[in-house]
Structure 1
């Protein structure tokens, strides 16, 4: 069994932080049941992931996408669904409220209003002003 070092993998992925992150993502997918592309040789998942990277058996851009997707809390699909949900709720609200019905309710009883005859008397006398 040959030992895998980071130096064997740096040729594939030059940034060591990215290398470790991608290897950890691959190790997680192996733990979840993803098939491995090399012989296990009684190695742990992290070592198998590094050996796969060194052997150039993995699609690195695809592995990057998986890593990014696992770190995101919301996907683009979630944003689109949220926007559609907001638009749908606005349409539902506007459908439920019919302005013509509202105006009918407000002004429906206008003819039945009973006003006192002198309530709107425009003739104000000086006597009325002194009372104020």
Structure 2
């Protein structure tokens, strides 16, 4: 297998995701259990994929590493929609999300700082 020069960066990111997932209630109790870290891309490939319908059926608290750090849940029905995975965020993530929306809409809406807008998305068009 040929790897690009940034493989170590990719491996580092995947390892941090696997470590975080292993600290959630859902993945901590999964069968087979996921590893608490990975040392190669081959090790990452051995982790079985999670069926999305099974993941969506989980309680939000079982899918995050620190439920007490959540300030609010973004999305329809406070994250209880069977068709959407909830997004949990803190204030800095909300600022980033709003800045991304503002940038994406900057050519379509007025530059008036007092103007307001709403972003409506569905699971088909997110």
TM-score range, shorter chain: under 0.3
- As a proportion of its length, which structure holds more strand? 2
The structure with the larger Rg is 1
Of structures 1 and 2, the one scoring higher in RCO (CA 8 A, sep 6+) is 1
- As a proportion of its length, which structure holds more helix? 1
TM norm structure 2: 0.25
